[in-house]
Amino acid sequence: MKILTILGARPQFIKAGSVSREIAKYKEIEEVIVHTGQHYDANMSDIFFEEMQIPKPNYFLGIGGKSHGAMTGQMIEKIEEVCLKENPDWVMVYGDTNSTLAGAIVASKLHIKLAHVEAGLRSFNMKMPEEVNRILTDRVSQILFCPTDTAVENLKNEGYDNLDVKVVKSGDVMQDGAMFYKKLALEPKQIQNSKFKIQNYILCTIHRAENTDNEQRLRDIFEVLNEIAKEKQIILPLHPRTKNILNNLKLNIQNLTLIDPVGYLEMVWLIDNCSLVMTDSGGLQKEAYFFEKQSITLRDETEWVELVELGVNSLVGADYTKIIDAYKNNSTFNTQHSKLNLYGGGKASENIIKELISYE
């Protein structure tokens, strides 16, 4: 069996790394990895692949920094060339990027079986390009690997029981990765010599366009973060673009501990040692749960509704009062919640490969 894996962003490589390590256990399976180049990431050097124990891509397409249409179109063209050359049995895609959609379109046009990892997720916000990408990818796949019961239910509600597609609750490959990388976590060099108190800080990340490109939302969020930081340290790895926006807005952020973006192993350390997570990241909401931390999500909706229903994640948008209330009331994680096995208990990659081997 030959599997052609399409990836375009660093988080996808980290997720796919867990599946690649499982594939490596089978001599009869060959994996060919294609990096579209959708997100240029200076951190993805050779050292990145070595430290993360992820196989390096076989192909690098170098397509990034373009409009959605130009990027996706060029990806389709280049991925098709690779597929015709490699003639895989399966194309495997992850998540909801333009690279995901491009790989799905190529597989469907060439009649190559398509497997979608992280299928069935829905924000129900069609203004999000990710929502469009994941819906279209699900529709042309032969097997849909859902991370949660909620994802399976979403597909059922959309009529997938009536389609010629296999829906599998595989668990979440992100949990596989979190468990694997916890033992490899690195304390960020930026804070090793600072007055850093373990278990006495909030980890915060802000990067989504719905926040960074909306001046009022950004003002509201940072006003409350700065207020909370008067009594509890907030460590915020900040992207240079967001930092420039904050500087231009002349916001009061003097109480926050701003650091440069960190690598994944350093981020794992920050999650593992914090007391609370505040974020607009989808992945970090789950990672907080994997590491038994409460999270506060600075968005108006989330794909991970089961965490909100469980009470380990508070969905607060950019509302000052809601954020303050969530901070005051949601600092202690109930460890019983981590035993519910919402995301497969670290067996997702194993389940995925077994399903592909037995697929008829």
Instruction: Assess whether 207 carries a catalytic annotation.
Output: yes
Q: Tell me what pLDDT residue 341 has.
A: 83
Q: Tell me what pLDDT residue 156 has.
A: 98
φ, ψ of residue 227 to 5 degrees: the values are -70, -45
- pLDDT at 239 > cutoff 90: no
To which H or E segment does residue 203 belong?
strand 201-205
The average confidence (pLDDT) of the chain is 93
Q: Tell me what pLDDT residue 198 has.
A: 64
The CA distance from 26 to 22, in Å, is: 8
- Which of these, 134, 86, 138, 148, lies nearest to 112 by C-alpha position? 86
Sign for the pseudo-dihedral over CA of 152, 112, 74, 163 = negative
Confidence of residue 152 (pLDDT cuts 50, 70, 90): very high
Would you tell me how many other CB atoms lie within 10 Å of the CB of residue 14?
23
> If phi over 0 gives left and psi between -120 and 50 gives alpha, with beta otherwise, what is residue 117?
beta
The CA distance from 144 to 155, in Å, is: 9
The CA distance from 1 to 27, in Å, is: 10
pLDDT in tens, 74-131: 999 999 999 999 999 999 999 999 999 999 999 999 999 999 999 999 989 898 899 9
- pLDDT at 1 > cutoff 80: yes
Q: Tell me what pLDDT residue 90 has.
A: 98
Tell me the DSSP string of 111-179: T-EEEEETTT-----TTSHHHHHHHHHHHT-SEEEESSHHHHHHHHHTTGGGSS-EEEE---HHHHHHH
pLDDT in tens, 316-360: 999 999 999 999 998 788 888 888 889 999 999 999 999 999 997
- pLDDT at 137 > cutoff 90: yes
The CA distance from 76 to 80, in Å, is: 6
Antiparallel, parallel or unpaired: β 313-315 and 295-297: parallel
pLDDT in tens, 15-39: 999 999 999 999 999 999 999 998 7
The CA distance from 273 to 258, in Å, is: 17
Confidence of residue 196 (pLDDT cuts 50, 70, 90): low
pLDDT in tens, 39-68: 766 666 678 888 889 999 999 999 988 899
Sign for the pseudo-dihedral over CA of 234, 43, 17, 109 = positive
DSSP-assigned letter for residue 71: H
Q: Tell me what pLDDT residue 324 has.
A: 96
Q: Tell me what pLDDT residue 270 has.
A: 96
> Per-residue pLDDT averaged across 163-174, rounded?
97
- pLDDT at 144 > cutoff 90: yes
Q: Tell me what pLDDT residue 42 has.
A: 61
Q: Tell me what pLDDT residue 335 has.
A: 85
CATH architecture of 189-340: 3-Layer(aba) Sandwich (3.40)
Q: CB of 29 within 8 A of CB of 353? A: yes
pLDDT in tens, 296-311: 999 999 988 999 999 9
Q: Tell me what pLDDT residue 43 has.
A: 62
- pLDDT at 272 > cutoff 80: yes
Higher-pLDDT residue of 195 and 302 is 302
Higher-pLDDT residue of 198 and 281 is 281
Catalytic residue among 39, 68, 116, 207: 207
Would you tell me how many other CB atoms lie within 10 Å of the CB of residue 328?
9
Q: Tell me what pLDDT residue 197 has.
A: 61
Would you tell me how many other CB atoms lie within 10 Å of the CB of residue 16?
26
Query: Residues 6 or more apart from 289 whose CB is under 8 A from it?
Result: 295, 307, 312, 313, 337, 338, 342, 343
> Per-residue pLDDT averaged across 250-279, rounded?
92
Query: Residues 6 or more apart from 265 whose CB is under 8 A from it?
Result: 51, 52, 181, 184, 185, 186
CATH code, residues 2-172+344-358: 3.40.50.2000
For the chain, residues classed under CATH 3.40.50.2000 are 2-172+344-358, 189-340
